[in-house]
A and B are shown apart, each in its own frame.
Chain A
Amino acid sequence: MGIRFILLVNKQGQTRLAQYYEYMTLEECRALEGEIVRKCLTRTDQQCSFVEHRNYKVVYRRYASLFFMVGVDNDENELAILEFIHLLVETMDRHFGNVCELDIMFHLEKAHFMLEEMVMNGCIVETSKANILHPIQLMDKAS
């Protein structure tokens, strides 16, 4: 049970954020991103949010032009991950105020800091938005 990777990809298939929790070579990452993006982007809203890929699952959610995709082991609780994506988005919203693709592009480091507070070693560490954002706020104050 665990998260293998978190990917943010836009409608054109461009990766906006990628965080892997198990080691993969660059080629493997590229191949995987290509395959998953192809699979998920062609799906309609009437289809479910889970895509089975190789020996794991991708749980994904679309927000405007951005797809949030999380690769999980087959026995992971899918809905919990689906809402975890939403928690991530809400956390970003709280920080950026209605987050958009550009926010994530130009503040990649912030997005990474948030993820780092939320997930570690493929496990969820923190689900309180205040706690997640605390270190970032400290830093913003300092600078």
Chain B
Amino acid sequence: MAHSGMRGLSVFISDIRNCRNKELERIRVDKELGHIRTRFKSEKGLSFYEKKKYVWKVLYIYMLGYDVDFGHMETLSLISAPKYGEKQVGYIATSCLLNENCDFLRIVINSVRNDIIGRNETFQCLALTLVGNIGGRDFAESLAPDVQKLLISSSCRPIVRKKAALCLLRLYRKNPDIINIDGWSDTMAQLLDERDFGVLTSVMSLLVSLVSNNTDAYWNCIPKCVKILERLARNQDIPQDYTYYGIPCPWLQVKIMRALQYFPTIEDPNTLKSLLEVLQRIMMGTDVVKNINKNNASHAVLFEALALAMHLDAEKDIMSQCVALLGKFIAVREPNIRYLGLENMTRILLVTDVHDVIKKHQTQIITNLKDPDISIRRRALDLLYGMCDVTNAKDIVEELLQYLNEADFAMREELALKVAILAEKFAPDLSWYVDVVLQLIDKAGDFVSDDIWHRVVQFVTNNEDLQPYAAAKAKEYLNKHVLHETMVKVSAYLLGEHGHLLSRRPGCSPKEIFAIINEKLPTVSTETIAIILSTYAKILTHTQPPEPELQDQIWSIFKKYEGYINVEIQQRAVEYLALSKKGVSLTDILAEMPKFPERKSALLKKTEDTESDTAEQSALRLRTQQKASDALVVTDQRTANGEIKAGQLSPVKLPNQNMNVNSEEQTTTNGALDTVDLDPTLSTDLIGDLLAIEGPPSISVPTEQTPVSGLDQETDLIGALALSTVDEQSNSIKPIGDIEEWFQALCIKDSGVLYEDIYIQIGLKADWRAHQGRIILFIGNKSTSSLTSVQALVLPPSYLKMDLSLLPSTIPPRAQVQCCLDVINICPSRDTSVLDFSYRYGSVMIEAKLRLPVVLNKFLQPISISPDDFFSQWKSLSEPPLKVQEVVKGVKTLSLPEMARLLSSVQLRVTPGLDTNPNNLVASSTFHSESIHAMLCLLRIETDPSDRTQIRMTVASGDPTLTFELKEFIKEKLIIIPNARPVPSPTSLQTQNPVLPAASNDDPGAMLAGLL
């Protein structure tokens, strides 16, 4: 076979194809890579043909999933080749192998620009495509005007302009400022007069992006869009090549209708009328045909028309047509149409009130819940969830509970969460709610998160009528032999609180309840033991007059746990024992739980959409936010001034507290011992969460919360009691995600999320050059109202110079602002700097202390070093403090390659083979700072194959501080430090101590970390 004129490439591909297994493939690939590497290195000057061939091989190898860490320069050099063939390979390979964050890319900006402004249109296309695919901010700044010129130029052919449109789209996303909205909306309208369908398709994508960022401009494009759509729908004057199975360019039709969904409304009555006519035509005129491709294409258009009609909230009869069509779709055999029918039915629920019509299809939807295809089952589940209301909640929830028995693993967690939420939102009565959740725990305990059982406890605590019922149910479940541990937790908790209400019933005396719980004690985990101990203490309190026999039994258990290995349990046992011997004071402290303040359900909060990673906000989501939808109504929302609106499930009697922002007195109001925040999403510490002694959480974020104000008044009473777990700021608004994880990720990457909660997202992008860096913070308001009092403050530690640009104090709804932070590294240190960020949403002040990923490795630059250089340096740095050695224990068990990867992730270049002992790793890097400029750092790690948890580490550099700091830094990376807390204590900032993660002191790893 003659293949693409590159024989060597074809031979290589054949070889790969003939490899019988992955191992042989790897060997062949390694051989080829070795060959290419030597060829590239051999300075003899490869011909462009050879370079082209090798680059395709590299690309092929990369596609197979092998890392190729060389050849980038050769690829880039092809971009400036004179011949089309080579240039093309250069451009395509660059956009596959590199990404916008690659420093390499900068060196070709000029060549790319030359191609863009040059006369050769095939070159222009290549360059525009590259920039469109991987162009970053640098490109946006230097190329935007040229690209705009091409797009609007009348002398340019469509082949170039269509690419210019999408290239501009990319640059606009990188930097929205490149487009000046004022004039540009007219330009866009003019572009829509285009006759070429390729250009129109691209321009439409550009329009979608522009409109989604700015729904107020670009009104003037609406009539033009509708015109094009009309022309397509009527099939007037459409070139044959753009007609797909008789359908006039379905993709363009879809795109236009999508663009129209980004405009909040269409005001001009004539335009609206024409549009509705088109939609009607599509809806009436789409028939099911035999040809699958035609069918798909016409239905693609139809579904988009439905979505647009929903968005326009068209007249009643169009909407009922929509629902009728969808009803038809969910009953067909063809799985794709059925899937989309279900999906769109769910969407229509979000925008219009068609619950009643959709309810007619309930049986059909439930049938789909049992479909063999998981994609369809998921859609059916979502739809059932969306259509559930008070009238059908019982049916649907029971159906879902039943389905839980057979549902596949992949869906169970979601299913469990949805059941719990529906039960909570639409319970016709509270006892039903308790029934459902207990059944849920019984059937799918593994998938019931703590949030769910915590919520039941809250409801039961807040509703006296419910307490005896719940306690009786709990007891019933405890009688079962096989029981999920979560059931033990919730039952023990409920019986501890309310078991005494049952005391008159047969089999429910304190003694009997104790006995039944005690059966479970030997088999449960520490978390549950903690709950059970509290339950015992409560049983003792409620047993008046005391029963000596029961008392003895419980005391002996407390005594048994006094020496327990877990500190929390130990403490509980000691304290409960001491308290229960005090008699009367016990009743005060262990009295029933006060009511929980009403709060938004953590479950509902959890389900609120947290994904915002698509470039454009989905049109639907925008729409839902614009319109107060009742599909996601939360029953107990607080009004702005902090009053509580009683929702369906709110307790009859509201707790007598005011919820004013920042009112710290409230922590003392109900005799609580501490202010553990109960909201399960807020505290990951279960033991501190629902156990025993609680106070209402503060609603807002007190900036400087006086530590546990409740404690002061009651100190005598409590004595040494230390149940408090107040180690976190009690923000009521918590990040959706783990700040620490984000931080850790950013320490290694240069862009990502720094912080996100339900209102705001802070993205970060950093660019490092030697000892300098620039961080750009992208602060996006996700909510539909303005965020005010936005403040960011950086306290630069002594080793850094930091300069933060001004930040507007208000961020308008759905807007993003940027803020630039310039960093200069003065001397080596492992400290981190902290960004104090705060803003106000309504009356709530939210504050976050965020560690900035300005860490030591950002100023390191990996460097390869020859053995001779290495050894001469290594020898010359012979003594401490320039060269230090330490044996480190408690190291994560990593294989050598893993350890090497870890080192290279922090910019230390591992040079294999330098150390003759294969168990050792040697790495080198350059550290940049203002005081010592560029300084070579050398590292050697000697591992012990028989004991992977310890290593000997030697670090050398020409600066004693650098040597020390680097050694500590690497050590921190290698040892196990569990439970790292996201919030650094403010003191660590002032004292310039390294921020050691606070961890519970029963943890050997943490103690180790503390010792270091």
Residues of B within 8 A of A107 (CB): 3-4
User: Most B CB atoms within 10 A — which of A43, A113, A122, A134?
Assistant: A122
Binds A, one of B575-583, B610-618, B950-958: B610-618
Inter-chain CA distance A54–B211, complex, in Å, is 27
State whether A113 and B618 are in contact (beta carbons under 8 Å apart), knowing that A83-B296, A108-B56, A126-B162 are contacts in the complex: no
Residues B85 and A116 in contact, CB atoms below 8 Å apart:
no
> A86 — which chain B residues lie within 8 A by C-beta?
293, 296
CA separation between A123 and B256, bound complex, in Å?
A: 13
Q: Identify which of A33, A80, A123 contacts B169 (C-beta below 8 A).
A: A123
Chain B contacts of A30 at CB under 8 A? Answer: 65
Q: Is the interface of B mostly helix, strand, loop or mixed?
A: helix
Contact flags (1/0) for A77-111 with B, using CB distance below 8 Å? 11110111011000000000000000001111110
| Chain A: minimal CB distance from B238 (Å) | 11
Partner of B335, one of A2, A17, A47, A105: A47
Q: Which of A1, A51, A110, A121 lies in contact with B170, CB distance below 8 A?
A: A121
Q: Does B340 contact A (CB under 8 A)?
A: yes
Q: Which residues of B contact A130 (CB under 8 A)?
A: 241
Please state if A79 and B4 are interface contacts (CB–CB under 8 Å). no
Residues in A whose Cβ lies below 8 Å from that of B303: 77, 79
* Contact in complex: B618, A80 (CB < 8 Å): no
List B159-203 residues whose CB lies under 8 Å from chain A.
Answer: 159, 162-163, 166-167, 169-170, 197-198, 201-202
Once the chains are docked, how many angstroms separate the CA of A127 from the CA of B59? 26
- Is A65 engaged at the interface, CB distance under 8 Å to the other chain? no
A1 touching B335 by the CB < 8 A rule? no
Decide if the interface of chain A is mainly helix, strand, loop or mixed.
mixed
Q: Does any Cβ of A come within 8 Å of B297's Cβ?
A: yes
Q: Are B241 and A79 in contact, with the CB atoms below 8 A?
A: no
Instruction: Note all chain B residues with C-beta closer than 8 A to A23.
Output: 99-101, 134
Check if B340 sits within 8 Å of A78, measured CB to CB. yes
Cβ–Cβ < 8 Å partners of B62 in chain A = 26
**B242 is an interface residue with CB less than 8 A from chain A:** yes
Which one of A109, A120, A128 has the greatest number of beta carbons of chain B within 10 Å? A120
A64 to chain B, nearest CB (A): 16
Roughly how many angstroms separate A74 CA and B297 CA in the complex, as a whole number?
A: 19
Bitwise, B593-631 to A at CB < 8 A (1) or not (0) is 000000000000000000101111011110000000000
B254 interface residue per 8 A CB criterion: yes
Q: Is the CB of A83 within 8 A of B300?
A: yes
B509 at the interface (CB under 8 A from A): no
Please tell me if B205 contacts chain A, counting CB pairs below 8 Å.
yes
Asked if A127 and B244 sit within 8 Å, CB to CB, the answer is yes
A138 to B167 Cα, complex, angstroms: 23
Q: Say which residue of B89, B255, B376 sits within 8 Å of A48 (CB atoms).
A: B376
Indicate if B88 sits at the interface (CB-CB under 8 A).
yes
Given contacts A121-B133, A130-B241, whether A106 and B3 have CB atoms under 8 Å apart is yes
Q: Are B296 and A82 in contact (CB under 8 A)?
A: yes
The B-contacting residues of A in range 51-68, CB under 8 angstroms, are 51-52, 55
**Interface residue count on the B side (C-beta < 8 Å):** 80
Does A11 sit at the interface, judged by CB under 8 A? no
B815 to chain A, nearest CB (A): 21
Select one of B60, B132, B162, B336 contacting A79, CB under 8 A: B336
How far does the alpha carbon of A75 sit from the alpha carbon of B166 in the complex, in Å? 20
Which B residues are CB-close (under 8 A) to A82?
A: 296, 300, 336
B209 to chain A, nearest CB (A): 9
Contact A143 B85 (CB under 8 A): yes
Is A77 in contact with B169, judged by CB distance below 8 angstroms?
A: no
Within the assembled complex, what's the spacing in Å between the Cα atoms of A86 and B291?
13
**B interface footprint on A23-56 (CB within 8 Å = 1, 0 otherwise):** 1001001100100000000011011111110010
Q: How far is the CA of A83 from the CA of B302 in the complex (A)?
A: 14
Within 8 A of A (CB), among B39-55: none
Taking a contact as CB atoms under 8 Å apart, the answer to whether A108 and B59 are in contact is yes
Using Cβ atoms and an 8 Å threshold, which residues of chain A touch B5? 143
Closest to B618 in A: A75
Q: Are A46 and B335 in contact (CB under 8 A)?
A: yes
How far apart sit A123 and B572, CA to CA, in the bound complex (Å)?
61
B690 to chain A minimum Cβ distance, whole angstroms, is: 31
Docked-complex contact B169 and A83, CB < 8 angstroms: no
User: Does B943 reach chain A (CB closer than 8 Å)?
Assistant: no
Provide the bound-state CA to CA distance between A15 and B63, in Å. 7
The CA-CA distance from A50 to B303 in the complex, in Å, is: 15
Would you call A110 and B4 a contact (CB within 8 A)? yes
State whether A123 touches B300 (Cβ < 8 A): no
A106–B5 CA distance with the chains assembled, in angstroms: 11
Within the complex, the shortest CB–CB distance from A70 to chain B, in Å, comes to 13
Interface flags, A112-136, vs B, CB<8A=1, else 0: 1100100011111111111100110
Task: Say yes or no: is B1006 at the interface (Cβ < 8 Å to chain A).
Answer: no
* Docked-complex contact A106 and B336, CB < 8 angstroms: no
* Nearest CB in chain B: distance from A142 CB, A: 8
Q: Is B118 an interface residue (CB 8 A)?
A: no
Q: Which residues of B contact A110 (CB under 8 A)?
A: 4
Identify B244's interface contact among A20, A73, A87, A116, CB under 8 A: A87
**How far apart sit A110 and B13, CA to CA, in the bound complex (Å)?**
15
In the complex, chain B residues whose CB is within 8 Å of the CB of A17: 63
The answer to whether residues A123 and B205 also contact, given A77-B258, A83-B250 and a CB cut-off of 8 A, is yes
B156 adjacent to chain A (CB < 8 Å) = no
Q: What is the minimal beta-carbon distance from B377 to any residue of chain A, in angstroms? A: 11
Does the CB pair B378–A127 fall under 8 Å?
A: no
Chain B residues whose CB sits within 8 angstroms of the CB of A33 once the complex forms: 65
A105 touching B17 in the complex, CB below 8 Å, given contacts A23-B99, A51-B375: yes
Contact (Cβ within 8 A) B339 A50 = yes
Give the shortest distance, in Å, between A137 (CB) and chain B (any CB). Answer: 12
Closest to B60 in A: A108
Q: Is B1011 an interface residue (CB 8 A)?
A: no
Residues in A whose Cβ lies below 8 Å from that of B101: 23
- CA gap between A23 and B98 in the complex, in Å: 9
Rounded to whole angstroms, the CA-CA distance of A131 and B5 in the bound complex is 24
Residues of A within 8 A of B244 (CB): 83, 87, 127
Q: Which residue of B lies closest to A87 (CB)?
A: B244
Residue of B3, B122, B244 contacting most chain A CB atoms (<10 Å): B244
User: CB distance B88 to A113 under 8 Å?
Assistant: yes
B249 lies within 8 A of chain A by Cβ: yes
**A73: chain B residues within 8 A (beta carbon):** 614, 618
A75: B residues at CB distance < 8 A: 614, 618-621
Check if A124 sits within 8 Å of B201, measured CB to CB: yes
Which of A19, A77, A125 makes the CB contact (< 8 A) with B300? A77
List A contacts of B4 (CB < 8 A): 106-107, 109-110
Contact B84 A15 (CB under 8 A): no
- List the A residue with the shortest CB-CB distance to B62: A26
Inter-chain contact B133/A79, CB cutoff 8 Å: no
Q: Does B304 contact A (CB under 8 A)?
A: yes
Tell me the B1-47 residues at the A interface (CB within 8 Å). Answer: 1, 3-5, 10, 13, 17
| Chain B neighbourhood of A47, CB < 8 A | 335, 372-373, 375-376
- Considering the chains assembled together, what is the distance between the CA atoms of A50 and B379 in angstroms? 11
Find chain B residues with CB under 8 A from A131 CB. 159, 198, 241
Decide yes or no whether B92 CB sits under 8 A from chain A: yes
Q: Are A77 and B304 in contact (CB under 8 A)?
A: yes
Q: Is the CB of B129 within 8 A of A15?
A: no
Beyond known contacts A2-B615, A49-B335, A128-B197: 17 more, CB 8 A cutoff: A19-B96, A26-B65, A44-B372, A48-B339, A75-B619, A78-B340, A79-B297, A79-B340, A80-B250, A83-B296, A86-B296, A112-B96, A116-B92, A124-B201, A124-B251, A127-B252, A131-B159
A-B pairs with beta carbons under 8 Å apart, 22 shown: A1-B616, A15-B64, A23-B100, A50-B375, A73-B614, A74-B618, A75-B618, A78-B336, A79-B300, A83-B251, A87-B244, A112-B92, A112-B96, A123-B166, A125-B162, A125-B166, A125-B198, A128-B198, A131-B159, A134-B159, A135-B122, A139-B84
Nearest 3 CB-CB pairings of A with B: A79-B300, A48-B335, A23-B99
Mark A residues whose CB is within 8 Å of B. 1-2, 15, 17-21, 23, 26, 29-30, 33, 43-44, 46-52, 55, 73-75, 77-80, 82-84, 86-87, 105-110, 112-113, 116, 120-131, 134-135, 138-139, 142-143
